[in-house]
Every structure is written in C-alpha cells, then in structure tokens.
Amino acid sequence: MSADLSAMLAEIKAAAQARNDLAAQLVARAGGLRLHHHDGRKAAVTPELDGSSLWRITYIDARGPSGHTCHSDKLTAISDALRSGYRPEGARA
C-alpha cells in the first residue's frame, strides 16, 4: 500500500473516531438536540412523535421542515446526522 493511501486511510479512521466520540458525548445530553450544517440547513434529533422508543432526525431548510428519518435509538440518529455533516449548534465545521 502506498504511503499516500495509508495516510488517507489513517485520516478517514481518525475522522470516524472523532465523530463516534462526539456522538457519545451528545447522546449523554438529556432530551433532543439541534444541529446545523455548514450550508445553512438545520436538523433536530428528537424522540419519535408517537411515543415509541424510536428517535427521529427532522431536517429543516430555508422553507421549513423538509423531511425526517427514524432510527432505533438516539445514538444511531446522532451518528447518522454527524455523518451527513451536521454539527451541534455553536460548533465549528
């Protein structure tokens, strides 16, 4: 394996670990959370509206809510949002 490829794989692994660490920190917060994307979109991670144990990500653009996804638990929802480029309110990049 070339040095360039090894370096790229190490960067990808480090970024994934940083996302996992951030997700673990965020899941410990009580309730839902608001996230933002660098392009101005927002997302909210909240318990599912039907009272089940599911968690949802509601996506919000300039025109309002634009869709949602459901997840089996809070950690999975947060991890999915972070992989999609969303970050906690006030966080950089």
3-class DSSP state of 78: helix
**Residue 29 in domain:** yes
Domain count for the chain, please give it.
1
- Give the tokens for residue 33: 């959370």
pLDDT in tens, 29-70: 989 999 999 999 999 999 998 888 899 999 999 999 999 999
**Residue 93 in domain:** no
Residue 13, domain extent? 3-88
DSSP 8-state symbol, 85 = T
More confident residue, 92 or 71: 71
**Residue 10 in domain:** yes
**Residue 7 in domain:** yes
